[in-house]
Structure 1
């Protein structure tokens, strides 16, 4: 009996999520490391640019679709309502968002290809395919998270990361030297994960038929917020790359340093995914204490982690870049310190976001990321040494975002204590 219980603990959903995230995160960093080691500097720079752009356009926008789907499915499940209408409404809204994002990308094509992608239209074609691929994957993961099927969710992470690692290693073994081919491997793994997720979706149970709450406005609001949330951490490497030559070793190393510095954000991902459904259920039953306790616990952990991480990354960051990323030069200590501090602040902001989403304060989330991104964009173009200016902008902007989110969370919790009614779907006539 004890052996079987131990085995169940070892393969519990949180453990599966951590393992899946480990494979997924390793794949992203291997993608950057392998291309940095094996490709010419200009092609390696293009793969770094592709990595950041795909994360801005894909998860940056469509993480909102996952959050909206998770929140809607959590509410329907907790209320005993049918899931079918919710899934259909989320799918329609997601398709509309794909159309909008694709149209914007087409309008930006001349500037993006010439100034950011070095005239490589094959890379732009891959970026243009990103909205459809990531929308499907995000919708699937949102449904899985909202119905608390975290084992299946973790399986999509494991498969996406595993396929990505295998394909990248194969390309290195074959001696492929073109960035766009590595781009195919990066996005192809997401396609495989989306197909697996579709096969693991739960059957829509038959419950009380209600009109699902509108998700269009919430999706747009959160899409803007998540786009800015991804744009803000990625503005710095994109700005440095645009201000330095394509074959610049300094630009390549700065982009690699940002990738390594952001590793802690990956560790927060399963926490967000598993926290949102429980917070949504707590808000629905008016349990303010549960929400407040979870936030205090998270912020305490972030503060403790931040103090240690800032010192470690400043001291060891250059060695990690040389050893694992093949960095030809070392970044300045001031740059690594600023990147470490900005990462800690971003961890805090992302930790608070699920509570605001559960409390339906989507506008606060959007406002925080908008203000932080605006300040970062204003600072990142200032004259001076591009890596230092960009790193400074990455510290100041997220700090402003964190302040807005904390104030919004405090206001929302006070409103919940005052007895503001939760929004619930109304039964259909």
Structure 2
């Protein structure tokens, strides 16, 4: 089992590495004077918006798929009552009917996202995307591909088929890298072509891995979660994941659209944000690996294992934060200059360190999300993210320079969310320890 787990981690990290590198390749090929400042800023915003409209929306469906399938694997013979918030509890039957409903939810999310994108398109074209309709069409492609590939990832993660999960990320990142490098080698200066190369990755991954994905075998414990239960749970996670990715990526978009922002400085700030988010690249595979594990521990009443895994993860993030901040202080400016070709005094070492700290706060927040999902605290998770999102937005009202407002927002938002998450998890575990009965006949420790 240990060897299998280690192999899964390697595969997951390899796929995530390619997705991460693809972002830096994209910024490298659109930088170094290939485009004028306004076009480069629009292309930078396209990358950040693709993260919000892709993972920001559809990772909710992936996580709920993984949780439901993992819960059924934990206690296939149990028949649990509904948990808090109407979320389907451990032991619910899962088979083709459930995965079909999850697929329909992904389709519905895709349609809803496209409608919202269409409504926002006029404002985006005027203030962010330099009036280029082709960039909006690239984002449409990203939404369609993400709806498909995150469904495949949800099935794969819940069944712990991590090699297939890793294949989706590797193909996604590889397609982006090949597309961008090919365009650069051909000397292309068409901004839409680069945006399409970036946004086609999820669809390529879905097309190549989707046919091999299969629903889990039905468990002997009907009824399966209803469509309403699944939709409610996904809606909670949708709010959480959307606000999460918005806080991680939206600050440069807002800064770009603010009056008085220099386009070159906006591009440099966007590149600095992306550079500081290197540690966050680890969160995709970590969440996919840790959610089934925490769900199994929570459903079986193994609170000690649950608490140990959570604390070890937070400790590892703390150590990584110190290392990442040191690297940002020493080599951040040099890496940014090599990556994008921008050497702007407004993007200094201090700013890079602060952005790195904000990224590590985001990492801690995203690590705790699967823990709260595992104990079915979906509603309170949403409360935490909404409070953080409000703090993030209010930071832009502080009378500072646009870039300084962006930095403040990226720190304040995740800090508020993290504090609420920690308080919720501590209260939940304390209540389970003092007043719970062992998991028996379908009654979960956390069904309170």
Q: Measure, in 1, the Cα distance between the counterparts of 2:282 and 2:175.
A: 20
385-394 vs 144-153, which moves further: 385-394
Whether 2:297 is the aligned partner of 1:282: answer: yes
Structure 2 counterpart of 1:86: 98
Which residue matches 2:64? 68
Report the 3-state secondary structure (helix = DSSP H, G, I; strand = E; otherwise coil) of the residue aligned with 1:103. Answer: helix
Task: Identify which of 14, 19, 38 aligns with 2:14.
Answer: 19
Higher mean alpha-carbon deviation, 321-330 vs 167-176, is at 321-330
The answer to whether the aligner puts 1:296 opposite 2:296 as a matched pair is no
Other structure's SS at 1:215 match: helix
Q: Which residue of 1 aligns with 2:238?
A: 223
Check whether the contact 1:136–1:194 (CA below 8 A) recurs between aligned residues.
yes
Match of 1:334 in 2: 350
Please state whether the residue corresponding to 2:42 is helix, strand or coil. Answer: helix
**TM value normalised by structure 1:** 0.92
Q: Is the 8 A contact 1:159 1:193 kept in 2?
A: yes
Find out whether 1:153 has 2:165 as its counterpart: yes
Aligned twin of 1:36: 31
Aligned to 2:188: 176
CA distance in 1, matches of 2:5, 2:383: 40
TM-superposition CA deviations, 1:120-140 (whole Å, max 9, x none): 111112223333221111111
Question: 2:200 is paired with a residue of what secondary structure?
Answer: helix
Kindly indicate whether the alpha-carbon contact (under 8 Å) linking 1:82 and 1:206 is maintained by their aligned counterparts in 2: yes
Deviation string 1:58-103 (CA, Å, 9 cap, x unpaired) is 1111110110111111123334445212201111222222222222
Q: Secondary structure at the match of 2:189?
A: coil
Asked if the contact 1:282/1:288 (under 8 Å) is kept, the reply is yes
Distance in 1 between residues matched to 2:353 and 2:218, nearest whole Å: 54
Aligned match of 2:249: 234
Residue equivalent to 1:124 = 136
Matched, 1:271 2:293: no
Of 382-391 and 349-358, the range deviating more from structure 2:
382-391
> 1:249-264 alignment to 2 at 5 Å?
249-264=264-279
What corresponds to 1:191 in structure 2?
203
Q: CA deviation at 1:238?
A: 1.1
Name the CA distance, whole Å, in 1 between partners of 2:446 and 2:4: 35
Are the structure 2 counterparts of residues 359 and 204 from structure 1 closer, same or farther at C-alpha, using a change threshold of 3 Å?
Answer: closer
Determine if the alignment matches structure 1 residue 106 to structure 2 residue 122. Answer: no
Shift of 1:332: 2.6
Deviation at 1:344, TM superposition (A): 1.5
Corresponding residue for residue 81 of structure 2: none
Deviation (angstroms), 1:11: 7.8
Bigger mean CA deviation after superposition, 404-413 or 303-312: 303-312
Give deviations 1:273-332, integer Å, cap 9, x for gaps: 100011111111111111100111011112222222223212321111012221242413
Flag structure 1 segments of 5+ consecutive residues without an equivalent. Answer: none
Q: Deviations over 1:198-245 (max 9, x none)?
A: 122135425426222221101111101110001112232112111257
Q: Conserved in 2, the CA contact under 8 Å of 1:85 and 1:211?
A: no
Distance change in 2, residues 1:111/1:200 (3 Å): same
TM-score (norm: length of structure 2): 0.88
Give the Cα separation in 1 of the matches to 2:149 and 2:445.
27
Closer, same or farther in 2 for the Cα pair 1:139/1:423, shift >3 Å? Answer: farther
Q: Are residue 316 (structure 1) and residue 327 (structure 2) matched?
A: no
Q: Does the Cα contact within 8 Å between 1:36 and 1:326 map onto a contact in 2?
A: yes
Q: Is contact 2:432–2:446 with CA below 8 Å preserved after alignment?
A: no
Verify: 1:55 aligned to 2:54, yes or no.
Answer: no
Measure, in 1, the Cα distance between the counterparts of 2:323 and 2:121.
42
Of 249-258 and 321-330, deviating more is: 321-330
Post-superposition shift, 1:257?
0.2
Correspondent of 1:394 among 403, 410, 418: 410
Partner of 2:430: 414
- Paired residue secondary structure (1:12): helix
Distance of aligned partners of 1:364 and 1:314 in 2 relative to their CA distance in 1, 3 Å threshold: farther
Which stretch shifts more, 386-395 or 60-69?
386-395
Number of paired residues? Answer: 420
What is the match of residue 134 of structure 1? 146
Identify unmatched segments of 5+ residues in structure 2: 77-92, 438-442
Residues 10 and 358 (structure 1), Cα distance of their counterparts in 2 relative to 1, 3 Å cut: closer
Instruction: Tell whether the 8 Å contact from 2:68 to 2:94 is kept in structure 1 after alignment.
Output: no
The two structures, once aligned, show a CA RMSD in angstroms of: 2.3
- Alignment of 1:359 with 2:381, yes or no, is no
